[in-house]
Amino acid sequence: MFEYFIGILVFVLLAVIFNAIKILREYERGVIFQLGRYWKVKGPGLIIVIPVVQQMVRVDLRVIVMDVPTQDVISRDNVSVKVNAVVYFRVIEPEKAIIQVEKYLEAVSQLAQTTLRSVLGQHELDDMLAERDKLNKDIQAILDRQTDAWGIKVANVEIKHVDLDESMIRAIAAQAEAERQRRAKVIHATGERQAATELVEAAKTLSAEPNAIQLRYLQTLTEIAGDKSSTIIFPLDMVEKIRKAIS
């Protein structure tokens, strides 16, 4: 009977020792509570946790990649879009992540969703499409500031998709086509204006030298004479002027 009792005692003792030994990986930390009060952070490696008296909560220090579910956002110019994003963050103070917030993963997810809607709702659709890098930095700065009390560092935020309905896609395409036509007309008008200026300058130069007009006339005759099917008729006084210009 005594040997049986000793065997049970040894078994219980081994179980207690086995339960007291904890091994934490390099990227893990153990937040230790002693009689319900925060005591210290231990790890990595082999640590001893006194059963009943102490409790340990494991915390992963690696970067966490969290998908932000698709959010319905109404832009400042009243366009409804669906936006989703991804948040990269990590725990840098394990004790705060456990003590200051109940479930830090869920808290970061909810905060990221509300911040995404709030920030994007202050911008127009063109900003969402063209200035995505700036919006990413704005959201990241807000999240990092608000999660600092939880011992969390938000490293990066990336907006993945901005989805529009078919009618809005057609409207944007029509707007882009109108913009291309406007630019083409402006370029054409600019070219016409420059050409008119050059023609005025050429006319002033020719008017300053009467013989220059005749020489220009001869050059024009040379160009059109190359076509054998053409018949050129001009008045006699013009022949006289050409003769004088040549002489």
Over the chain (247 residues), the average pLDDT of each successive run of 10 is: 72 78 93 94 91 92 95 87 94 95 94 94 86 93 95 95 70 63 79 77 66 62 61 56 54
Which pLDDT value is given to residue 223? 64
Which pLDDT value is given to residue 84? 92
Q: What contacts 24+ positions apart, CB below 8 Å, involve 55-58? A: 56/22, 56/30, 56/31, 56/32, 57/30, 57/31, 57/33, 57/98, 58/24, 58/28, 58/29, 58/30
Peptide bond into 44 cis (omega under 30): yes
Architecture of domain 64-164: 2-Layer Sandwich (3.30)
- Those residues whose C-beta lies under 8 Å from the C-beta of residue 132, and which sit 6 or more positions away, are 159
Which pLDDT value is given to residue 125? 84
- Those residues whose C-beta lies under 8 Å from the C-beta of residue 209, and which sit 6 or more positions away, are none
Closest CA to 56 of 27, 14, 28, 83: 28
Q: Which two tokens stand for residue 91?
A: 């725990």
Closest CA to 120 of 83, 70, 167, 67: 83
The DSSP output letter for 91 is E
Which pLDDT value is given to residue 238? 55
Q: Half-sphere exposure of residue 187, counting CA atoms within 13 Å on the CB side?
A: 6
Element at 17 (helix H, strand E): helix 2-20
Closest CA to 85 of 99, 96, 71: 71
Residue 37 and residue 57: Cα distance in Å, rounded?
13
The C-alpha angle with vertex 55 and arms to 53 and 60, in degrees rounded to 5, equals: 160
| Cα dihedral sign, 96-100-102-103 | negative
- Write down the pTM of the prediction: 0.67
Which pLDDT value is given to residue 194? 83
